[in-house]
Structure 1
Amino acid sequence: MTSFGGAYHDGQQLLELLAVVSECSDEESAAYAAVERAARALDAEVAAVVIDDEVVAVVGFPVGRVPADDLVAVANRELDNVDVPGVGRCRAIAADWGGGRPGHLVLARWGEQGFSVEERNIVRGMARLLELALTMLRTLQAEHEMRERSERQAAENAELLASLQQRQRLLEHLFDVQRAISRRRPLPQVLDMIAAAARQLLGDGAVGLWLRDDSDPQRITLVAGAGLAVDTELETPSMPLAEAGTVGAAIMSGGVVVCEDDSADGIASMAAPVHDSGTITGGLVVLAERPGRVYAPPEVQMLQSFAEHVSLALTDANTVDRMHQAFHDSVTGLASRSLFLDRLSHQLELTGHGGSRVALLFIDLDRFKAINDTLGHAAGDTLLTITADRIVAQLRDSDVAARFGGDEFAVMLQNVSTPVDAAKVADRILRGLHEPMRIAGRQLQVNASIGITLSTHGMTDPAALVRRADIAMYRAKRNGRGRYDVFADEMLLAFTDDP
């Protein structure tokens, strides 16, 4: 697979682990499913779950030959390697989780390099998700036990039913949140969904999500909430972290903080930290609606579950955003040169196995430098953005447009039969670009020169296709600009002979 495909695959590992363990019915099967998924995702020889200094699930060792003491030592940071039969000494790492039943996710892999920083972050994320899954399964098991007791104790039926209904609502809300994350709903929408669900289930007055400011980590800003006196879409309250009360204490301590004021008018609150890729980036806080509120342990666990889902949403959204920034042009939003060549290479591989031809359009704006120098770089960026929008407007969803740099653009057309088909697209692009553009208070008309080439049977080198389109584009410039030319083999000879 391509490099972009590999980066995208890594970004999906946490969601895939969550999907696998969510299908399990008990803690044991969830632990085994998690170690199998973790080992496969990171190409590890060994994966294990250690809880209370006991190996509860492991893959990578023959039956009866599991070095439990060594795995526990790795979990406790006393060893950084284990011996694997048939493989040898493997480098090992562990990621921990806390909560009511702390544990460790241990992985070992053969090789000199060990685990990269990105892989360690993935392992930490997997450990947090496994903790969430085990906590939820433990809660479900507790509900089952409560249901059995209710059959023996009729007097507790009403209270037990209410508890089960609340837990069911929790699972339904968490499922809705997980589905919204997996479908890549906008992050603010997901965060507001979590805040509203927390307020509804906990029955409190207000819920707020505060995140550290990017420019000043010692300040936090309200980014989502429910039942608050402010509208987060219109206002963005900010405060020093040290003065943020319960939520500030949760962020600084890294754990759940519960504040229960026993005074007549005291208002209780509790807060849990939230993470982005393993780093504490904010806190989710619940404010009581009435004085004298006391938070029971199940409610604390409920808040932790919502905070974990906030962490999952933040990590997923920011991972996707970082991937987008890495592979897209910051001015136009089009694909970057590297992403375009990656996609082109992949499409050429497909055509080499019997697929249809690929057409490449290489576009160069005529006299862009003069406009940029005269009106300034801001006007030049506006021109590039409008140009990108007009190019994309002429394409199908399956086509790919990119900015190669400066005033150069490229377009890949899939499933093209003849140069005539590509020429029709080029003609539409030229007409669209020639329409006046309102830039820096002026009406400007921009022309472009376009080179067109089509892939040939057996062609797999994207650079060769780009070179042919580039040569055709220069021919179009020489022939009067504001036009397109289709590559022919004699152009390559003429271009080579040019002084």
Structure 2
Amino acid sequence: MTDEDGWIQGQQLLELLAVVSSYPDEESAIRGAAERAAQALEAEVAAVVFGERVAACVGFPRGRVPAVDVVAVTRHELNTLDVPGVGPCATVSARWGGARPGSLVLARRGATFTVQERSLVRGMARLLELTLTMLRALQRSERHAAENAELLKSLQQRQRLVEHLFDIQRAISRRRPLAQILDMITGAAQDLLGDEIVGLWLREPEGDEARLVAHVGLRTEVARRRPVIPLVEAGAAGQAMLTDDVVVLHGYGETSTLIAELTDGRLCASMAAPVHDSGTVTGSLMVGAHRQTRTYTAADVQTLRAFAEHVSLALTDANTVDRMYQAFHDSLTGLASRGLFLDQLTKRLGEAERETRRVALLFIDLDRFKAVNDTLGHAAGDDLLTITAGRLKSQLRATDVAARLGGDEFAVLLYAVATTADAARVAERILRTLGEPMPIAGRQLRVNASIGIALSTPGMPDPADLMRRADVALYQAKRNGRGRMEVFADEMLLSFPHEG
């Protein structure tokens, strides 16, 4: 999700809040929410469903709403709706719980809904639920002037919730550090719910235990150790993970002495909601109070759910980014993988052709890697490759790309190179830095490298051609004594073994 996407989603949620809040009753608000949701997602159909009943629907002719199919979408039994005059439309739905559970359903012709759009629909559903809860409270209390002040406070709190969620979404879209986002969420939960304690627990990769990763109001000297606790002893936080549902407890129940230590023995009431990573329960967000009289309302439950859902969004986004990085980078050195390097080389060659620039490709092979790996072990070989990668990157510009192609083979892409001499100067720097002693297995080892250089020429858009030339030049460098560089020349093809 980009920063612009996060800003647009926040604006759309605020616009939905303004529209729905302007209606005097629940029925009008439901109809207005469906219309606004369809408009925001450019959908052909939008519907609000309670149980088996379609409470509001736009996009179908009057009296011809296929209620059975719309309800089936909320149960994930259908993923398309047939709209008259339009045809099959992809669907998305978001459910909410509380005193009156329901679902928001959208259907659109063409492409399926993106991850960002699905996140927006969930936000809209959560916002509609909060608004309907408040509208029902308003309708019940119209004749009670004494309650008006409390209702106003609730409306103001709802606005603050939207503002907090908007700030969190922006932080996620800007890819701020995950720990910073989690701290934002725990702080916002304390601000909105007014409890003294907030703790975010994430499940350990193996075993039925959880670790404290973010908190407000817990005993600092204990919390900073990031303690681990069995789920069955973690009170509401553990039960929320085990049941995948919101849990409310009074007192300590089955919690361990660690919880008592973290809370200074003052925990009187607690509530926790599960958090997920790509749909799997991976933790829970817990709030706790020191007051014996603390009770949690339906609105409190929904507020905590909203924050827990944003923890889930942050975790899923961070882990998705990490998995994408791992997929396109060498796990040992952090350099680009072969696939990413080929993509970048293809892209740069196309740009160079259009802009009449040149691309230089360097193939680099370590001359003594096998000897080090065989005599000192694979750990020493891994250290050698890691140090090589670091020294390689130190000699490159931000626009250059370094990759590990496999084993002890590396490649460097230099963009916008004016002459062969420019590429050769970079290669000389690389040879010098790789020739300096490396601390390997308690020794200072010198490991030279051989480099083959090839420059693109006009009319050479195929990366395979450039890679073949760099490979030929590398072969020539090794043949001429290793620890040196060679620039590709056509006559080298005469001695290259694969050229017949």
TM bin, normalised by shorter chain, reads: 0.7 to 0.9
1:54 counterpart residue number = 54
Tell me the amino acid that sits aligned with residue 254 of structure 1: D
User: For each residue in 1:185-237, what CA deviation from the matched residue of structure 2 results, as whole angstroms up to 9, or x when unmatched?
Assistant: 11122112211221233222211111221122x22222221111255874232
- SS in structure 1 at match of 2:482: coil
- SS in structure 1 at match of 2:286: strand
- The match for 1:220 among 210, 227, 233 is 210
Counterparts in 2 of 1:70 and 1:292: CA distance versus 1, 3 Å: closer
Take 2:139 and 2:73, find their aligned partners in 1: how far apart are those partners? Answer: 40
- 1:344 deviation in Å? 1.1
Please tell me whether residue 285 in structure 1 is matched to residue 275 in structure 2: no
- 1:402 deviation in Å? 0.7
Tell me the amino acid that sits aligned with residue 238 of structure 1: V
Residue pair 2:34, 2:47 contacting (<8 A) in 1 also: no
Please tell me whether residue 31 in structure 1 is matched to residue 24 in structure 2: no
Superposition TM-score, scaled by structure 1 size:
0.81
Take 1:13 and 1:349, find their aligned partners in 2: how far apart are those partners? Answer: 28
2:436 counterpart residue number = 435
- SS in structure 2 at match of 1:352: helix
Q: Residues 341-360 of structure 1: matches in 2 within 5 Å?
A: 341-360=342-361
Please tell me whether residue 99 in structure 1 is matched to residue 100 in structure 2: no
Counterparts in 2 of 1:423 and 1:29: CA distance versus 1, 3 Å: farther
- Report the identity percentage: 57
Please tell me whether residue 189 in structure 1 is matched to residue 180 in structure 2: yes
- 1:306 deviation in Å? 1.0
- SS in structure 1 at match of 2:179: helix
1:340 counterpart residue number = 341
1:381 counterpart residue number = 382
Residue pair 1:241, 1:248 contacting (<8 A) in 2 also: yes
Counterparts in 2 of 1:376 and 1:296: CA distance versus 1, 3 Å: same
1:249 counterpart residue number = 239
User: For each residue in 1:34-55, what CA deviation from the matched residue of structure 2 results, as whole angstroms up to 9, or x when unmatched?
Assistant: 643xx7xxxxxx7755523438
Take 2:80 and 2:292, find their aligned partners in 1: how far apart are those partners? Answer: 53
Please tell me whether residue 174 in structure 1 is matched to residue 180 in structure 2: no
Q: Residues 452-491 of structure 1: matches in 2 within 5 Å?
A: 452-491=453-492
1:5 counterpart residue number = none
- 1:467 deviation in Å? 1.5
User: For each residue in 1:318-347, what CA deviation from the matched residue of structure 2 results, as whole angstroms up to 9, or x when unmatched?
Assistant: 100110111110100111011111111122
Counterparts in 2 of 1:147 and 1:490: CA distance versus 1, 3 Å: farther
Take 1:254 and 1:163, find their aligned partners in 2: how far apart are those partners? Answer: 27
- 1:380 deviation in Å? 1.0
- SS in structure 1 at match of 2:416: strand
The alignment of Structure 1 onto Structure 2 pairs a total of residues equal to 469
Take 2:355 and 2:374, find their aligned partners in 1: how far apart are those partners? Answer: 48
Please tell me whether residue 297 in structure 1 is matched to residue 298 in structure 2: yes
- SS in structure 2 at match of 1:390: helix
- SS in structure 2 at match of 1:134: helix
- SS in structure 1 at match of 2:205: coil
Q: 125-134 or 435-444: which moved more?
A: 125-134
- 1:366 deviation in Å? 0.9
Please tell me whether residue 198 in structure 1 is matched to residue 189 in structure 2: yes
- SS in structure 1 at match of 2:15: coil
User: For each residue in 1:334-383, what CA deviation from the matched residue of structure 2 results, as whole angstroms up to 9, or x when unmatched?
Assistant: 11011111111122222233352211111111111101111111111111
- 1:83 deviation in Å? 4.2
- SS in structure 2 at match of 1:353: helix
Counterparts in 2 of 1:268 and 1:133: CA distance versus 1, 3 Å: same
Take 1:460 and 1:51, find their aligned partners in 2: how far apart are those partners? Answer: 55
Please tell me whether residue 207 in structure 1 is matched to residue 185 in structure 2: no
Take 1:181 and 1:64, find their aligned partners in 2: how far apart are those partners? Answer: 43
Take 1:256 and 1:179, find their aligned partners in 2: how far apart are those partners? Answer: 26
Query: What stretches of structure 1 of length at least 5 have no aligned partner?
Result: 1-8, 40-45
Take 1:75 and 1:144, find their aligned partners in 2: how far apart are those partners? Answer: 24
- SS in structure 2 at match of 1:398: coil
Take 1:72 and 1:17, find their aligned partners in 2: how far apart are those partners? Answer: 29
Please tell me whether residue 426 in structure 1 is matched to residue 417 in structure 2: no
2:26 counterpart residue number = none
Residue pair 2:168, 2:310 contacting (<8 A) in 1 also: yes
2:249 counterpart residue number = 259
1:400 counterpart residue number = 401
Residue pair 1:359, 1:453 contacting (<8 A) in 2 also: yes
Residue pair 2:96, 2:129 contacting (<8 A) in 1 also: no
User: For each residue in 1:133-155, what CA deviation from the matched residue of structure 2 results, as whole angstroms up to 9, or x when unmatched?
Assistant: 33335646887999999999986
User: For each residue in 1:417-455, what CA deviation from the matched residue of structure 2 results, as whole angstroms up to 9, or x when unmatched?
Assistant: 211111111111111112211111111112111111112
RMSD value, Cα: 3.8
Take 2:40 and 2:320, find their aligned partners in 1: how far apart are those partners? Answer: 21
Take 2:249 and 2:391, find their aligned partners in 1: how far apart are those partners? Answer: 57
- 1:86 deviation in Å? 7.6
Counterparts in 2 of 1:30 and 1:19: CA distance versus 1, 3 Å: farther
Residue pair 1:450, 1:484 contacting (<8 A) in 2 also: yes
- SS in structure 2 at match of 1:422: helix
2:25 counterpart residue number = none
Residue pair 1:55, 1:72 contacting (<8 A) in 2 also: no
Residue pair 1:50, 1:72 contacting (<8 A) in 2 also: no
Take 1:16 and 1:335, find their aligned partners in 2: how far apart are those partners? Answer: 31
User: For each residue in 1:68-122, what CA deviation from the matched residue of structure 2 results, as whole angstroms up to 9, or x when unmatched?
Assistant: 553444434555655466886x596655423244215465889xxxx9xxx89x6
Take 1:50 and 1:432, find their aligned partners in 2: how far apart are those partners? Answer: 65
2:74 counterpart residue number = 75
Take 2:462 and 2:223, find their aligned partners in 1: how far apart are those partners? Answer: 49
Take 2:145 and 2:80, find their aligned partners in 1: how far apart are those partners? Answer: 55
Tell me the amino acid that sits aligned with residue 313 of structure 1: A
- 1:458 deviation in Å? 2.6
User: For each residue in 1:362-419, what CA deviation from the matched residue of structure 2 results, as whole angstroms up to 9, or x when unmatched?
Assistant: 1111111101111111111111111111111111111111110111111111111211
- SS in structure 1 at match of 2:355: coil
Take 1:480 and 1:62, find their aligned partners in 2: how far apart are those partners? Answer: 81
Counterparts in 2 of 1:93 and 1:202: CA distance versus 1, 3 Å: closer
Residue pair 1:447, 1:482 contacting (<8 A) in 2 also: yes
Tell me the amino acid that sits aligned with residue 358 of structure 2: R
Superposition TM-score, scaled by structure 2 size:
0.81
